[in-house]
C-alpha cells in the first residue's frame, strides 16, 4: 500500500533493464532497495498475471518500476545531446523504449507520424549598438529572439519602416509591401507592433532586402515593455528580435549588430498508442501524457514522470481484461503547443471519437517540491472553458479524490484550463481529468505544512531546464501518484456506465 512517510515499495519483478538505464540509475544516486523488514507484498510475476482488483494492481505498480523507465529516458537524453525534444534523436530513442516495452508486454503499438514546426535557439543571441555610441543589450531584458526567427550575424544601419514610434495600438508599420518603399536593402528594419502579424512584418522586411528585423512594442500604457514575438511557423530566413518601446524608438539611424543562431524548420515526430481490449468495445478510457521534453533538458519530471507511470500501469494491466478498453497514449510535440494530442484527435473519425468514454491526463507527477493537484474538472474551485465540465468529468475528479481520501493523502484542485494535452479531448466534448504535481509556481507555507517540502520555492525549480534530470524527481510523489493513476484507470475502465464514462 501507499506510504505517506516517504518510503517506496520494493519490486521483486524480473525486468529487462538496459545497461544505459541501469547506469543512469547508478549515476543519479537513486537507490531503490529495501530490507526484508520493509518489504511489502511480493510483486513477483505481476506483469504475467491478471491484476483486476485494486489491491493486486496497486501492489504491482511501484515507484521503483516507474523509475526504471525514467532511467531509460535519462539514458536516451544523455546519448542524444541532453534532451528528448520532439523531432530529435533523443525523442526517437524514448519512443523506441516505449514501443519495445509495450510490445514485450503483448500490446500492438501504433506509431502515428505528423509534421510540426520546430524551433530551437542553439546559442545566446547578441544585440548591440555599434555607432554612434557603443552599447550592449541584454537578452531577456532588452530584447528577445522571435520564435521561428531565422539565423544571421549582421551589422547594419537601423531604418524605421512607416512609423515614428508614436504610442498606438493600431500601427500598420511593415504590414504592406508598400511600407518598404525607399527602404535601403541591407539595413535592419525597425517595425512597430500593431495591427498585423509579426510574421507578415518580418516577411515583408525580408522581401525588401532587410538584413534583420527589430519589432518594437507599441508604447501604450499596457504594451510598452519587452516583447517576445512569435512568427507562428518557420519561413523567415533573417534574424528577428523584439524589444521595448523605450529602447526601440531610439534606434533609427544607429548602426546595430544583431546575431541569432537558431534552427527553424518543419520536422516529423510521432505519437504512440496501444490499446488493452475490454469486454465491450465502447467507452474507451484514453490514458495519456506527453513523451517529449523541451530542447533545454532531458525532461525527466516534465514529462518523463507521467509517461513512465503510464507505461508502468500498462505493463501491469497487460494480462487483465476490464469492462472497457484502455488506450495508453504517449504524445509528441506537447512542448511546441500541445500538437501531438491535437493531431491525434483531429485524425479520429466521428465514430472513433464516439467510442471514447473519457480521457485521463498525467503531466509532471514527480515534482521534487510537490503538491498533489487534481484537475478541477467539476469547476468547484476554478472556472473552466465552456464545454469542459460535465457530470462525467466531475466523476473523474471524484475518483482521484476518493483514492487520496482513502489513503489519508492531502490534495487540492488545480485549474482545468487547457494547459496540457487534455485540451484536445475536452474541446472534442470528451470527459477529461487528471493529475499534476506542480511546475514553476511557488509552494505556499500552507502547502508546505500539508505536503512537506519548502515554502517559497517552486514545485519544480528545474522546470524546463537542463537540471530536470533523474535527480529532480520525488520518490514519494511518484509512489503516491502512480498508485492514484492505477486506481483511477482500473476504477473508471471497469465501471460499466459508472464514474467518468461519458459515451460508454
Catalytic residues: 334
Preceding peptide of 39 cis, ω within 30°: no
Closest CA relative to residue 343, chosen from 272, 281, 294: 272
The grid coordinates listed for 235 are: 519561413
CA 497 to chain centre: 31
Q: Any idea which residue has 512607416 for its cell? A: 162
Phi, psi torsion values for 59, nearest 5 degrees: -65, -35
- Which helix (H) or strand (E) segment holds residue 102: the answer is helix 89-104
CA 174 to chain centre: 34
Write the secondary structure of 235-250 as one string of H (helix), E (strand) and C (coil): CCCCCEEEECHHHHCC
232 Ramachandran zone, left/alpha/beta (phi>0; psi -120 to 50): left
Phi, psi torsion values for 483, nearest 5 degrees: -65, -40
The alpha-carbon radius of gyration of the chain (Å, integer) is 25
3 state DSSP class of 323: coil
| 262-276 vs 109-121, strand pairing mode | antiparallel
Amino acid at each position: 500500500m501507499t506510504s505517506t512517510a516517504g518510503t517506496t515499495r520494493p519490486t521483486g519483478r524480473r525486468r529487462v533493464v538496459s545497461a544505459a538505464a541501469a547506469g543512469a540509475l547508478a549515476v543519479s544516486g537513486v537507490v531503490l532497495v529495501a530490507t526484508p523488514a520493509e518489504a511489502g507484498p511480493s510483486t513477483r510475476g505481476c506483469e504475467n498475471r491478471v491484476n483486476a482488483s485494486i489491491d493486486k494492481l496497486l501492489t504491482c505498480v511501484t515507484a521503483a518500476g516507474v523509475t526504471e523507465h525514467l532511467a531509460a529516458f535519462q539514458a536516451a537524453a544523455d546519448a542524444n545531446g541532453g534532451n528528448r525534444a520532439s523531432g530529435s534523436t533523443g525523442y526517437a530513442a524514448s519512443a523506441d523504449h516505449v514501443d519495445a516495452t509495450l510490445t514485450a508486454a503483448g500490446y500492438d503499438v501504433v506509431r502515428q507520424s505528423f509534421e510540426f514546426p520546430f524551433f530551437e535557439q542553439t546559442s545566446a543571441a547578441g544585440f548591440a549598438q555599434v555607432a554612434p555610441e557603443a552599447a550592449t543589450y541584454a537578452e531577456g531584458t532588452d530584447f528577445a529572439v522571435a520564435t521561428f526567427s531565422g539565423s544571421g550575424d549582421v551589422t547594419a544601419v537601423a531604418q524605421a519602416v512607416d512609423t515614428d514610434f508614436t504610442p498606438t495600438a493600431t500601427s500598420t508599420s511593415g504590414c504592406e509591401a508598400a511600407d518598404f518603399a525607399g527602404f535601403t536593402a541591407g539595413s535592419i528594419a525597425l517595425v512597430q507592433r500593431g495591427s498585423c502579424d509579426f510574421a507578415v512584418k518580418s516577411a515583408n522586411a525580408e522581401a525588401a532586402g532587410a538584413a534583420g528585423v527589430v519589432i518594437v512594442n507599441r508604447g501604450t500604457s499596457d504594451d510598452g515593455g519587452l516583447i517576445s514575438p512569435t512568427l507562428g511557423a518557420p519561413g523567415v530566413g533573417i534574424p528577428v528580435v523584439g524589444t521595448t518601446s523605450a529602447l526601440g524608438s531610439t534606434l533609427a539611424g544607429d548602426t546595430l549588430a544583431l546575431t541569432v543562431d537558431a534552427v527553424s524548420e518543419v520536422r516529423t515526430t510521432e505519437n504512440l498508442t496501444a490499446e488493452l481490449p475490454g469486454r465491450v468495445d465502447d467507452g474507451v478510457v484514453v490514458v495519456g501524457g506527453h513523451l517529449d521534453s523541451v530542447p533545454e533538458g532531458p525532461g525527466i519530471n516534465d514529462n518523463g514522470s507521467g509517461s513512465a507511470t503510464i507505461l508502468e500501469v500498462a505493463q501491469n494491466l497487460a494480462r487483465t481484461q476490464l469492462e472497457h478498453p484502455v488506450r495508453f497514449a504517449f504524445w509528441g510535440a506537447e512542448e511546441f503547443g500541445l500538437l501531438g494530442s491535437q493531431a491525434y484527435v483531429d485524425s479520429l473519425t466521428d465514430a472513433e471519437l464516439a467510442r471514447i468514454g473519457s480521457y485521463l491526463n498525467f503531466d509532471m507527477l514527480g515534482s521534487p517540491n510537490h503538491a498533489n493537484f487534481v484537475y478541477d474538472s467539476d469547476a468547484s474551485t476554478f472556472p473552466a472553458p465552456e464545454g469542459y465540465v460535465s457530470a462525467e468529468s466531475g466523476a473523474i475528479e471524484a475518483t482521484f479524490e476518493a483514492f487520496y481520501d482513502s489513503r489519508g493523502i492531502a490534495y487540492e484542485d488545480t485549474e482545468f484550463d487547457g494547459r496540457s494535452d487534455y485540451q484536445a479531448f475536452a474541446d472534442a466534448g470528451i470527459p477529461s481529468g487528471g493529475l499534476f504535481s506542480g511546475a514553476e509556481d511557488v509552494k505556499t507555507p500552507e502547502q508546505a505544512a500539508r505536503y512537506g517540502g519548502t515554502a517559497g520555492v517552486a514545485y519544480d525549480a528545474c522546470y524546463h531546464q537542463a537540471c530536470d534530470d533523474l535527480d529532480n524527481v520525488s520518490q514519494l510523489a511518484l509512489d503516491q501518484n502512480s498508485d492514484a493513476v492505477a486506481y483511477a484507470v482500473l476504477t473508471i475502465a471497469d465501471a460499466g456506465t459508472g464514474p467518468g464514462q461519458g459515451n460508454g
